[in-house]
């Protein structure tokens, strides 16, 4: 096996290091976070850091890179306190990835891609039309990560829309049937295959 020390990592070419360190931790979630400014301009951006934090109350979190440059998603969340998380499926990956381009705050990525916004249940932030799992979230808290200047944003799930045919009787969502993709590194999209499911694990069972 190849072995990299911390000194090796520090001395790497920037792009090589980005690709290596972003992929070495494994597959990540692939989601579009959508917000809307107070002026009514929608924003949508791809995130690979959304993660489950708890089911009661239903919480999720995501990591935002340092705010040393404008972060339209974060600015909108701070001002409106709501956003949506939308799963990316295999037919959306090209448009979804393009949302990582740095557009000015007065330009909507919906206008620059084939993605479309839709509004539901009087929720202020838009959902991404065609996404098979859509989550409406309300900002709860944030934590500054002093180690790298990033911000961990915590949100509560207020709305959950799920395509009818992907949910099993026990509540489990068959993301394989939804063709939900994952992210490998910064720019690799993969379609996972479910290998097995197991009973809730208990000692000596």
Residue pair 127/84 in contact (Cβ under 8 Å)? The answer is yes
Nearest by Cα to 44 from 53, 52, 32: 32
pLDDT on residue 70:
67
Give dist(CA 35, CA 126) in Å, integer. Answer: 6
Cα 129 to its chain centre, rounded Å, is 16
| Span 81-132, pLDDT tens digits | 999 999 999 999 999 999 988 888 888 999 999 999 999 999 999 999 999 9
Domains annotated on the chain, with CATH: 29-164 (2.30.110.10)
| DSSP code at position 179 | T
Around Cβ 128, how many Cβ atoms within 10 Å? 26
- With cut-offs at 50, 70 and 90, classify the pLDDT of residue 175: very high
What value does the CA radius of gyration of the chain take, rounded to a whole number of Å? 18
Beta carbons of 116 and 130 less than 8 angstroms apart = yes
Triad 128, 44, 31: Cα angle to 5°? 65
- In tens, the pLDDT along 5-26 reads 999 999 999 999 999 999 999 9
Q: Give the separation between CA 18 and CA 188, rounded to whole angstroms.
A: 13
Most distant pair of Cα atoms in the chain: their distance: 58
């Amino acid at each position: 096996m190849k072995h990299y020390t911390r000194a090796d990592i520090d001395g790497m070419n920037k792009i090589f290091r980005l690709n290596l360190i972003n992929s070495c931790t494994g597959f990540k979630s692939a989601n579009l976070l959508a917000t809307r400014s107070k002026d009514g301009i929608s924003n949508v951006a791809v995130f690979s850091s959304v993660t489950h934090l708890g089911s009661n109350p239903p919480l999720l979190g995501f990591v935002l890179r340092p705010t040393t440059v404008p972060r339209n998603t974060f600015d909108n969340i701070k001002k409106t306190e709501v956003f949506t998380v939308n799963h990316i499926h295999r037919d959306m990956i090209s448009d979804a990835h393009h949302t990582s381009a740095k557009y000015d705050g007065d330009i909507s990525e919906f206008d620059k891609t084939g993605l479309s916004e839709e509004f539901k249940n009087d929720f202020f932030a838009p959902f991404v039309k065609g996404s098979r799992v859509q989550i409406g979230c309300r900002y709860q808290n944030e934590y500054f990560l002093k180690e790298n200047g990033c911000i961990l944003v915590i949100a509560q799930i207020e709305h959950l829309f799920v395509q009818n045919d992907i949910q099993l009787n026990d509540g489990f969502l068959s993301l394989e049937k939804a063709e939900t993709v994952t992210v490998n590194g910064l720019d690799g999209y993969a379609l996972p295959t479910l290998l097995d499911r197991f009973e809730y694990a208990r000692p000596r069972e």
